[in-house]
Chains A and B, each alone.
Chain A
Amino acid sequence: MRKDFGPLGEDHAIQIHDPPAGVGHPVHRQPQHVGRIPALVGRVGVWKELADVAEGRCAEEGVGDGMEEHVGIAVADRGTIVRDGDAADHQRGARTEAVGVVTETDSKHGAHSSGDVTVFPYTPAMHNTDPAAEPTPDDTVIHVARLAKEYRVFDKPEGLAASIRGLFHRTSRVVEAVKGVDLDVGRGEFVALLGPNGAGKTTLLKLLSGIITPTRGTATVLGHVPWERADDFRRRFALVMGQRNQLWWDLPAAESFRLHQEIYRIEPARFEKTRDELVDMLDVRRLILQPVRELSLGERMKLELVAALLHEPEVLFLDEPTIGLDVVAQHTIHEFLRDVQRRRRMTVMLTTHYMKDVAALCERVVVITRGDVLYDGSLAEIVDRFTSHKIVTLDFDEAPDRERIERFGFPCDFRGPQVILRIDRSRIADALPVILGSEGVRDVSVEDVPLEEIVAELFRADSRQAAAGASS
C-alpha cells in the first residue's frame, strides 16, 4: 500500500545524522551527503508497512513514558520526500535521490506526525538484499563468516584400572562447539544470543572477544580479527562475564576504575565524567569506596558494568549479566544498559537464559542450538513464526462446568474459577465471541504465548530433530 505525503511544513528541519538504532543492513549506510534538502515534505506510515520496505529490519521500540518511537523509510525525489517507499521505488533508482529515515517521536499524531529525518543519498546498493554481499565496514561492526570451533575432549573412564590404562592411552573425541556460524551485526544493534546450555553461545562470545581462536572461518569485530588481540582492538570493546570479576576483590571498586583509566588510557577529565555518569545512573556512588568483597552480588554486577563501560567501548559482550540477580537489580540493569546503549550507539551482544532480558533490551534475537544458528530475526517475528496459538484466560464468577468449556474444542486448563484456553490464532476471531457469550464470564485476557515457552519449544523441537537425525 502506498501513501502520498502531505505537507510537513517548513519548521521541520532535516537533521542529518547516523541512522537510528535498530536500523541496519541492508538499507542503511552512513550518510555521506550532508546538507539540507529544501522544502522537504513527508509523512510516515505505520511502521509495519515500512518494515516490509526495509526487509524486516525496521524495528519499533519503546522509549519509556508511554512514548513510542517509529522508524520508517521515506523516499525523497529531487529533494522532496514523495512517499514511503517500497522495493519498486528503490528499483526506479534514476528517480530516487535520497532515502530518508524518519524518526517519529510523537505517536499521538499517528501517521501525520513528524520528527527528525535522516537523509541518505540513494545508491542502488541500498536495496541490495543479497546476504552474501560483503557489507561495508562502515556499518557492520561484527562480521562472522562460517565460523567454527572444535574442541578435543578426552574421555575420563571410570574405575582405577581404566584410569591407569588412561595414563598410556587416552581416548578423545571432537566436539563441535560452534559449527559454521554466519552473522552480521550493525552498529548500534542490541542482539540476544539464546540457546540451551552448551549450545555454543559463550564459545561464540569468546571467539568474538579474542579469547579463543577458531578452527575454521573468519570474523572481524570493528575491523579487527579478534584473536590477534591487537591493543587497538582491545581498547574498543568490553566483555562482562556474569560470574567472573574484573574488579579487585579486596579493594574498593574506585581503585579498579583507576587501573582501567590507566590501562585503557582514558583522559582524566573524561574518565571522571564517565565514571560519575555511570555510577549515578546505577545509583552506586556510595559503594565505590567499599571493598568489593563486602558487596552483594547485584551491587558487584553493577560495578562490573561500570568498570567495563569506563573506556566507552563501541562493542559490548555480555555473558549472562543478570544471572542470580533479584528482580529489582535485573530491572535496574536493564534500564541502565538500554540507556547507555542508546546514548552511545553501542553495539551489544548478550547471552542469557532470562527472557526478561531479551524482552527488555533486544530487538534482534539469534537462537543457537548445537553450534548452529537456528533463528536470526526480530523478537516480534519469533512470536509470529513459532506460535500457532494464543493464550485466552477466562475468569468466571465460580468454577465453571468443565464439559461446557471442553465442548469449545480447545485444550484447556481449569484452575478454580479460572480457565486457560489455547486457541489457534486463525480461529481466535471466530471463537472469542462464542466463548465470551457463555454464561458467567467475568473477565477475559488474550495473550501471546510467553517467550519462555516459545524458546523452550524451539529448543525442544531442535533436540528432537537432532535425535531423529541421529537415529536415522
Chain B
Amino acid sequence: MSDAAAMPAKPFQGLRTWWTMLRICLEERLVYRGDFALGTLMRFLPIVTQVFLWTAVFAATSRSDIAGYSRNDIVAYYLLTMLTRAFSSMPGLATGIARSVRDGSVKKFLIQPVDYVGFLLAARVAHKLVYYAVAAIPFALVFFLCRGYFPPPPDAVTIAAFLLSLVLSFLLGFFMEAALGMLGFWFMEVSSIVFGYMLVQYLLSGHMFPIDLLRTVPTGVAGVSLADVVHWLPFEYTAYFSSAVWLGKVQGRDLVAALAIEAGWVVVMAVACRIAWWRGTRRYSAFGG
C-alpha cells in the first residue's frame, strides 16, 4: 500500500523536507513574535553597566588604551558582541532537548522517518530568522545612536570574513548546545550542567571582556598566554571572534587560521552531536522509552 504512496527519493528530497520543516517552524515562531520585541531591547541594558564600568576603569588610569582597546573600542566591542551572540546563543536548546527526553516527546523522532538533529536545526534557523526580523529595528536604533564609538567600516574582505564568522558561530553554538542537551539521555536533569557551561562560556567567549585581556595572563608554559589557549578552544568563536574581526584585531593569515579553527570546531561538535544522539537513543531504547 504505502509502497505506492511513497515517492522514490528525489534529488533534493532532504532539502525539501528541511524547507517544509523550516516553514512550519517559522509559522510556529511567529505565534510568539510579541515576546521578542521587548526582550530584545532589554538585552541591551547590561551593556549600559559595562559602559559605565569601563568608563570608570579608563578614568582611573592614565592609559588611553587597555590591551589595544580604546574607550570607544570597548563600547563598539560590546555592541558587536551583542550582535554575535544574537547568532550563537541558543536559548532553551539544551534544556529543550533534555526535556523532550524526560517527558518522552523525543519518541516521535524514533518512530517517524525524520532526523531529530536536522529538525532542531530547522527549528533554530526559523527561530533566529523571526528573531532578526523583530530585533532588526531595536538593533539598528542602538547601533545608529552609538555610531560615534565605531571606527570606520572595514574593507569588503573583512566584512565577508565577519559574515562568515557569524554563520559559523551560529552553527557552532547550535551543535555545542545540542550535544550538551543530548546528555539528557544520561542525566535526568541537565540544567546544572548547562549552568556550568554557561559560566565557562561567559568567561571564555569574550562576552564578559575581550579575550585580548588574557594575553598578559601566563599559563606556566613559557611564551604561552591564556589567550593562546582560549584561541584553540571553541568558546571565543561564539562572541569575541566576530567582534574582533570587525574591529580589525585579527587580520591576514591569523584570520584565515582562526576561521579554520572555528570551522573545525563546527565539524567536531556536529559529529559529537550525532554520536551523542546515536548512543543516547540506544541507551534510551535499552533502559527506558
Whether A and B are associated in the same complex: the answer reads: yes
Q: How far is the CB of A176 from chain B (nearest CB, A)?
A: 14
Q: Do A258 and B24 form a contact, CB below 8 Å, given A213-B286, A231-B113?
A: yes
Q: How far is the CB of B79 from chain A (nearest CB, A)?
A: 33
Query: Does A152 reach chain B (CB closer than 8 Å)?
Result: yes
Contact present for A266 and B5 (CB under 8 Å)? yes
For the residues of B in contact with A, the DSSP-based class is: helix
- List residues of chain A with CB within 8 A of the CB of B28: 248, 250-251
- List residues of chain A with CB within 8 A of the CB of B285: 210-213, 227
Q: Do A344 and B110 form a contact, CB below 8 Å, given A152-B287, A211-B289, A258-B24?
A: no
Contact with A along B94-130 (1 / 0, CB 8 A): 0000000000110110111110000000000000000
- List residues of chain B with CB within 8 A of the CB of A344: 1
Q: Which of B13-21, B61-69, B139-147, B241-249 participates in binding chain A?
A: B13-21
Determine which of B20, B31, B105, B113 lies in contact with A234 in the assembled complex, contact meaning CB atoms within 8 Å: B113
Determine which of B105, B112, B113 lies in contact with A244 in the assembled complex, contact meaning CB atoms within 8 Å: B105
Q: Which of A309-317, A322-330, A406-414 participates in binding chain B?
A: A309-317
Determine which of B7, B31, B287 lies in contact with A151 in the assembled complex, contact meaning CB atoms within 8 Å: B287
Contact present for A262 and B20 (CB under 8 Å)? yes
A250-296 contacts to B (CB < 8 Å): 250-251, 255-256, 258-259, 261-267, 270, 274, 291
Contact present for A311 and B20 (CB under 8 Å)? no
Query: Does B2 reach chain A (CB closer than 8 Å)?
Result: yes
Contact present for B5 and A267 (CB under 8 Å)? yes
- Closest-by-CB residue of A relative to B29 is A250
Contact present for A244 and B104 (CB under 8 Å)? yes
Contact present for A244 and B24 (CB under 8 Å)? no
Contact with B along A229-261 (1 / 0, CB 8 A): 101001110110100101010110001101101
Determine which of A211, A250, A251, A267 lies in contact with B111 in the assembled complex, contact meaning CB atoms within 8 Å: A211
Determine which of A251, A264, A345 lies in contact with B24 in the assembled complex, contact meaning CB atoms within 8 Å: A251
- List residues of chain A with CB within 8 A of the CB of B20: 258-259, 261-262
What is the CA–CA distance of A393 and B122 in the complex, to the nearest angstrom? 64
For the complex, count residues of A whose C-beta is within 8 A of B: 43
What is the CA–CA distance of A259 and B119 in the complex, to the nearest angstrom? 11
What is the CA–CA distance of A274 and B2 in the complex, to the nearest angstrom? 12
Contact present for A212 and B286 (CB under 8 Å)? yes
Query: Does B27 reach chain A (CB closer than 8 Å)?
Result: yes
- Closest-by-CB residue of A relative to B105 is A244
Query: Does A206 reach chain B (CB closer than 8 Å)?
Result: yes
What is the CA–CA distance of A235 and B6 in the complex, to the nearest angstrom? 8
Query: Does A209 reach chain B (CB closer than 8 Å)?
Result: yes
- Closest-by-CB residue of A relative to B106 is A211
- List residues of chain A with CB within 8 A of the CB of B114: 263
Determine which of B9, B113, B286, B288 lies in contact with A263 in the assembled complex, contact meaning CB atoms within 8 Å: B113
- Closest-by-CB residue of B relative to A267 is B7
Q: How far is the CB of A201 from chain B (nearest CB, A)?
A: 14
Determine which of A231, A265, A314, A346 lies in contact with B7 in the assembled complex, contact meaning CB atoms within 8 Å: A265
- Closest-by-CB residue of B relative to A293 is B31
B30-85 contacts to A (CB < 8 Å): 31
What is the CA–CA distance of A255 and B31 in the complex, to the nearest angstrom? 14
- List residues of chain A with CB within 8 A of the CB of B104: 244
Q: How far is the CB of A122 from chain B (nearest CB, A)?
A: 28
What is the CA–CA distance of A85 and B60 in the complex, to the nearest angstrom? 106
- Closest-by-CB residue of B relative to A252 is B27
- Closest-by-CB residue of B relative to A209 is B111
Q: Do A314 and B2 form a contact, CB below 8 Å, given A152-B287, A251-B28, A265-B7?
A: yes
- List residues of chain B with CB within 8 A of the CB of A265: 6-7, 9, 13
Q: How far is the CB of A80 from chain B (nearest CB, A)?
A: 34
Contact present for A255 and B7 (CB under 8 Å)? no
- List residues of chain B with CB within 8 A of the CB of A262: 16-17, 20-21
What is the CA–CA distance of A212 and B106 in the complex, to the nearest angstrom? 12
- List residues of chain B with CB within 8 A of the CB of A261: 20
- List residues of chain B with CB within 8 A of the CB of A313: 2
Contact present for B289 and A212 (CB under 8 Å)? yes
Q: How far is the CB of B107 from chain A (nearest CB, A)?
A: 5
A435-468 contacts to B (CB < 8 Å): none
Q: Do A311 and B107 form a contact, CB below 8 Å, given A234-B113, A250-B31, A262-B17?
A: no
What is the CA–CA distance of A459 and B104 in the complex, to the nearest angstrom? 29
Q: Do A311 and B108 form a contact, CB below 8 Å, given A212-B285, A234-B113?
A: no
Q: Do A210 and B2 form a contact, CB below 8 Å, given A151-B287, A258-B20, A263-B17?
A: no
- List residues of chain A with CB within 8 A of the CB of B13: 265
- List residues of chain B with CB within 8 A of the CB of A231: 113
Q: How far is the CB of A182 from chain B (nearest CB, A)?
A: 21
- 17 residue pairs from A and B, CB less than 8 Å apart: A151-B287, A210-B111, A211-B111, A211-B289, A212-B289, A234-B111, A236-B2, A241-B107, A244-B104, A250-B28, A255-B24, A258-B24, A259-B20, A311-B5, A311-B6, A312-B2, A314-B1
Chain B: residues with CB nearer than 8 A to chain A?
1-2, 5-7, 9, 13, 16-17, 20-21, 24, 27-28, 31, 104-105, 107-108, 110-114, 282, 284-289
Q: Which 7 A-B pairs have the closest CB atoms?
A: A212-B289, A234-B113, A262-B20, A231-B113, A213-B285, A263-B114, A262-B17
Knowing that A235-B6, A265-B6 touch, tell me 12 more A-B residue pairs with CB under 8 angstroms. Answer: A210-B111, A210-B285, A211-B111, A234-B113, A236-B2, A238-B111, A244-B104, A258-B24, A259-B24, A266-B6, A312-B1, A344-B1
